[in-house]
Amino acid sequence: MKSVQWIFVPILVVASSLTLLYPNFAERELELAVRKEFKQLPEETRKDLLNSFAERWKTDYNPKSDWQIEPDPNIFPEQDYYLVKGRFITSAKINQLSQENQELILEPKNKLRPTWVEEYIFGGRPLAIRLGLDLQGGMRVVLKGDFDDYTSKLKDSYTKEIEELTRKKGDASLSEKERKEAQDKLKEIESYFELTPSRKLAELEKAKLIIDNRLTNQNLTEPQVRIQKDQDSIEVSLPGVSNSSQILDIIRNTETVEYRLREPSDPNGNSKGTYHDAIELEEMKLMSQGRKEETEIVRFQNIVKQKLGKDEQDKFLEVMEKKYNIPEKYKLYVKWSRANNPKASLLPREFVVLERAISLDGKDMRNARESYDQNRLSYYVSFSLTSQGAEKFFDITSKNVGRQLAIVWGDKVISDPVIRSPIAGGNAQIDGEFGQKEATDLANVISEGALPIPLNVLEMRFIGPTLGIESIEVGLKAVLLGFALVIVFMLVIYRLSGLVADIALLVNVIVLMALLSLMGFTLTLPGFAGIILTVGMAVDANVIIYERIKEELIAGKHVSAAVAQGFENAFWTIMDSNVTTLISGILMIKLGNGPIKGFAITLCWGIITSLFTSLFLSRMIMDLLVNKLGVRKLQIGFKKLESKNV
């Protein structure tokens, strides 16, 4: 190697790798959020819950670790959380803490405080290596396809067509042929509503694909999405997810985009005003009496803020629909927007009444993109329509000039512009008060297609590792033991050079881990196998080099020439074998799924790091030893072995 000054490269690499890995072994702080409702419980119940929490803390959580908790679990904390400090706070433990103390701790609000590395260098992004479901457990959500809702929505979207066809069918002024056609078409439409098992499966397959894509877009590695055929459900396994609000996000993302018309200005046919006005009036009344907290919109906001879930929100809306006698034809929605400042959070602001019939749905839209509007300082989403969609859109916009057309994303109305003129051409855009993330999410929903079936959460639970706690602990120890034995083996066989190889091996593993944590990779059992193979290949590279150097030494070359020649000779061998493996690794990443992908990712990065350590780092250290530190006798292997080979 040309110059010893290059030594700063590996030192820099190792230093930054260790920095990256710091969050994995540093002492961390966890905020265990206390439920707001907990405060309202009777004192007796509260004491009991706190007692059992303290009890479990002593017996289940604390003994194995030196975790500190403030304040004492027996005492209700002044702030909204308990602060836990300690090393190796795994998400599995966080899950256990919140799952076993459900009435005390609000799981979605738990917060693992970022370490300084995460905070200052990576802007709060978590860096600790995530372990897969098979290694540490995680979250499992079973989503049941709601086929009733699916058919009723499907019916909604055909309401107008069915009306039209039924009218045609009975219209005596039309020819026999036309009436027959209408009847056939009607039959065909009706057959859409019959769900055979194979059609259900096909819809589930579509949903699976979409969920898969979305989860990958969420940077979740190795989510497993499976269909449980006999239950019409989809099972999603999320390794290392400790936070169910993330899941709720994903579920929110699995929702649809639809256009629905707002109720016309006199929906009753008499001049009583709209339902919207009636609600508005009530709210105003309460406001004027200074009872803002009692207004329905504030109560609804509270449901949202407390994350009580979609069910609660739906229930609330149903009650309101009854209260205001909103007829079957319409449905109550909530419009979400921001307060004046664009950084404020998106919250429900207003109730709106929309037609139940869907004017245009996600199936009619495609190619959505988010863009930034300089003038309004916000994002919007533009998209194009399918030819059928364009026709529908033109039809709706031309028939309803002056009315408001609401865009419903999931269960949120995100904008409801007034139709000023018929829109033709098949391009449209949605202006909401979007932040970048929301605009991207919405564009994703439109582009990837909406979920074909609504999915309800059937079951959501945290699950233990596939291999069991016991075998993972033992397995990890076994792997470490193996690693230590390999290091000893190299030392015994190759002596000083073996030490160099060992240093290279350690650096290799450190850099690889750092890379994986930088990428937010989820380490699974197959991933672990990939690391084992990497270690094997890294050892191999060094063995090849040393055997080559040994040959040169036996041939009588000077130490420094032998080292140079040995590396030279070994270079292409190592390159060829690694590149070939890399090829198979890349193909596995591209084409493989789940376990294969996890294996291949670690393998590919492992090859890259081991090329760096064996061809660059090893060589540098060897050069340093031979050329600068004046090591004259490089002992590679036993003397005996050498003489035998001469």
Is residue 70 a contact residue for another protein (CB under 8 A)?
A: no
* Among positions 126, 435, 475, 520, the unique one binding another protein when judged by CB under 8 A: 475
User: Taking a C-beta distance cutoff of 8 angstroms, is the pair 626, 559 a contact?
Assistant: yes
Return the range that interacts with another protein (CB under 8 A); candidates 279-287, 297-305, 324-332, 527-535: 527-535
The rounded distance, in Å, linking the Cα atoms of 380 and 155 is: 30
Is residue 587 a contact residue for another protein (CB under 8 A)?
A: yes
Is residue 479 a contact residue for another protein (CB under 8 A)?
A: yes
Residue (of 401, 432, 428) closest to 416 by Cα position: 432
Residue 355 is encoded by which pair of tokens? 């037609």
Is residue 530 a contact residue for another protein (CB under 8 A)?
A: yes
Burial 570-606 (b: 16+ CB within 10 A, else e): bbeebeeebeebbeebeebeeebebbebbbbbbbbbb
Q: Which is nearer to another protein, 378 or 534 (CB)?
A: 534
Is residue 90 a contact residue for another protein (CB under 8 A)?
A: no
Is residue 469 a contact residue for another protein (CB under 8 A)?
A: yes
User: Taking a C-beta distance cutoff of 8 angstroms, is the pair 33, 242 a contact?
Assistant: no
Is residue 492 a contact residue for another protein (CB under 8 A)?
A: no
* Among positions 466, 560, 627, 635, the unique one binding another protein when judged by CB under 8 A: 466
Query: 613-642: which residues touch another protein (CB under 8 A)?
Result: 637, 641
* Among positions 41, 596, 608, 624, the unique one binding another protein when judged by CB under 8 A: 596
Query: 44-63: which residues touch another protein (CB under 8 A)?
Result: 60
Beta strands of 200-346 (E only): which ranges? 224-228, 233-239, 257-261, 330-337
* Among positions 600, 617, 622, 634, the unique one binding another protein when judged by CB under 8 A: 600
Query: 551-580: which residues touch another protein (CB under 8 A)?
Result: 551, 569, 572-573, 576-580
Interaction pattern, residues 435-464, with another protein; x per rule: CB under 8 A: -----------------------------x
Nearest-approach distance from CB 641 to another protein, in angstroms: 8
Is residue 595 a contact residue for another protein (CB under 8 A)?
A: yes
Query: 126-155: which residues touch another protein (CB under 8 A)?
Result: 134
Q: Which is nearer to another protein, 320 or 588 (CB)?
A: 588
User: Taking a C-beta distance cutoff of 8 angstroms, is the pair 204, 145 a contact?
Assistant: yes
Angular region, 328: left φ>0, alpha ψ -120 to 50, beta rest: alpha
Residue (of 244, 251, 27) closest to 138 by Cα position: 244
Is residue 8 a contact residue for another protein (CB under 8 A)?
A: no
Is residue 543 a contact residue for another protein (CB under 8 A)?
A: yes
Cis peptide bond upstream of 417, omega within 30:
no
The rounded distance, in Å, linking the Cα atoms of 538 and 611 is: 8
Nearest-approach distance from CB 82 to another protein, in angstroms: 21
Interaction pattern, residues 228-267, with another protein; x per rule: CB under 8 A: xxx-------------------------------------
Is residue 204 a contact residue for another protein (CB under 8 A)?
A: no
> How many helices and strands in the chain, by DSSP H and E?
21, 19
Residue 313 is encoded by which pair of tokens? 């929100």
Is residue 539 a contact residue for another protein (CB under 8 A)?
A: yes
Angular region, 594: left φ>0, alpha ψ -120 to 50, beta rest: left
The rounded distance, in Å, linking the Cα atoms of 267 and 261 is: 12
Q: Which is nearer to another protein, 332 or 574 (CB)?
A: 574
Q: Which is nearer to another protein, 264 or 592 (CB)?
A: 592
